């Protein structure tokens, strides 16, 4: 895909220099925002999308008429609901003591990683994201987002995000090197309505999770593997022929289910 880096409109010199540095790092052109607007007007902008560094130093991607950016709103909402007494199936199924080392094998926007990390006192979350574009935007967000609440900042500080494909990472990992492995791949049937993931979709990796991948997760986990799926997807049904889930649990209203494999 063809892309470039620019800034928001009327940048300071400092901001333009920071964006130029990012362009060098990504090995793509830097185009000033003014030039980009001109090229667009003339119909000469030959890019699939572009990264924007804005005056608040947030990094996002503009494509078609959409914006892909990091935001912790889902983590915020889920923690709020949980504190108000609503069930959160992920948190319940993880059963954290607070000292766990968790591998979040499919990081995405990191909403669930932030939520999990909040419940860790001394543990950590290692996140893997195979898509370089998702990784860059989210990594930048974790480091630069002006988190409103101290809990989010603290949770983000316990997360290490790597631009790696879990399929390779798992096979290179030692037996029982994480307490919990969590995996939330892209659903087979996407949930477009009210999904905070919509802007991420064009950049996500969709390669299916295989039986061998799950066997690797079981080998690498010390306590348990937690997998997420939708009730309408065939993911758990296909696995169920070969792998015994300890239990499958979830919400009928959202159709989101978690499969837990305890060791």
Ligand X SMILES: C[S@@+](CC[C@H](N)C(=O)[O-])C[C@H]1O[C@@H](n2cnc3c(N)ncnc32)[C@H](O)[C@@H]1O
Residue ranges in contact with ligand X by CB under 6 A:
105-106, 108-112, 128-131, 134, 165-167, 184-186, 197, 200, 204-205, 207
Tell me the closest approach of the beta carbon of residue 231 to ligand X, in angstroms: 15
**Residue 68: strand pairing partners:** 61
Choice between 101 and 167, CB closer to ligand X: 167
Tell me the closest approach of the beta carbon of residue 182 to ligand X, in angstroms: 8
Tell me the closest approach of the beta carbon of residue 71 to ligand X, in angstroms: 10
Phi and psi at 89, nearest 5°, equal -65, -35
Choice between 18 and 219, CB closer to ligand X: 219
**Residue 260: strand pairing partners:** 226, 247
Choice between 117 and 131, CB closer to ligand X: 131
Task: Indicate the residue whose CB is closest to ligand X.
Answer: 108
Tell me the closest approach of the beta carbon of residue 205 to ligand X, in angstroms: 4
Tell me the closest approach of the beta carbon of residue 156 to ligand X, in angstroms: 13
Q: What is the b/e burial string over 140-178, where b = at least 16 CB atoms within 10 angstroms of the residue's CB?
A: bbbeebebeeeebeebbebbebebbbbbebbeebeeebb
Tell me the closest approach of the beta carbon of residue 186 to ligand X, in angstroms: 5
CA 232 – CA 242 distance, rounded (Å): 19
Choice between 33 and 133, CB closer to ligand X: 133
Tell me the closest approach of the beta carbon of residue 86 to ligand X, in angstroms: 17
Helix, coil or strand: residue 168: helix
Asked whether the beta carbons of 261 and 246 are under 8 A apart, the reply is yes
**Structure-token pair, residue 118:** 């909040």
Choice between 167 and 238, CB closer to ligand X: 167
Choice between 22 and 114, CB closer to ligand X: 114
Choice between 112 and 179, CB closer to ligand X: 112
CA 164 – CA 44 distance, rounded (Å): 35
Q: Strands 49-53 and 256-262: what pairing?
A: unpaired
């Amino acid at each position: 895909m063809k892309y470039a880096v620019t800034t928001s409109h009327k940048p300071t010199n400092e901001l333009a220099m920071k964006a130029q540095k990012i362009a060098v790092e990504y090995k793509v052109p830097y185009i000033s925002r003014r030039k980009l607007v001109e090229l667009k007007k003339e119909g000469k902008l030959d890019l699939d999308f572009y990264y924007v560094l804005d005056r608040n130093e947030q990094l996002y991607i503009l494509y078609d008429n959409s914006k892909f950016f990091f935001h912790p709103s889902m983590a915020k909402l889920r923690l709020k609901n949980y504190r108000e007494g609503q069930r959160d199936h992920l948190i319940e199924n993880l059963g954290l003591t607070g000292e766990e080392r968790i591998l979040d094998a499919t990081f995405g926007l990191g909403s669930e990683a932030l939520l999990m990390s909040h419940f860790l006192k001394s543990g950590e979350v290692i996140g893997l994201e195979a898509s370089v574009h998702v990784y860059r935007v989210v990594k930048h967000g974790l480091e630069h987002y002006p988190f409103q609440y101290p809990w989010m900042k603290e949770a983000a500080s316990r997360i290490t995000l790597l631009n790696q494909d879990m399929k390779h990472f798992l096979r290179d990992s030692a037996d029982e090197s994480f307490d919990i492995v969590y995996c939330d791949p892209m659903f087979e049937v996407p949930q477009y309505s009210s999904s905070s993931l919509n802007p991420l979709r064009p950049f996500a990796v969709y390669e299916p999770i295989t039986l061998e991948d799950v066997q690797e997760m079981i080998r690498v986990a010390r306590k348990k593997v937690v997998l997420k799926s939708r009730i309408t997807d065939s993911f758990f049904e296909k696995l169920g022929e070969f792998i015994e889930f300890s239990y499958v649990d979830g919400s009928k209203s959202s159709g989101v289910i978690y499969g837990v494999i305890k060791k």
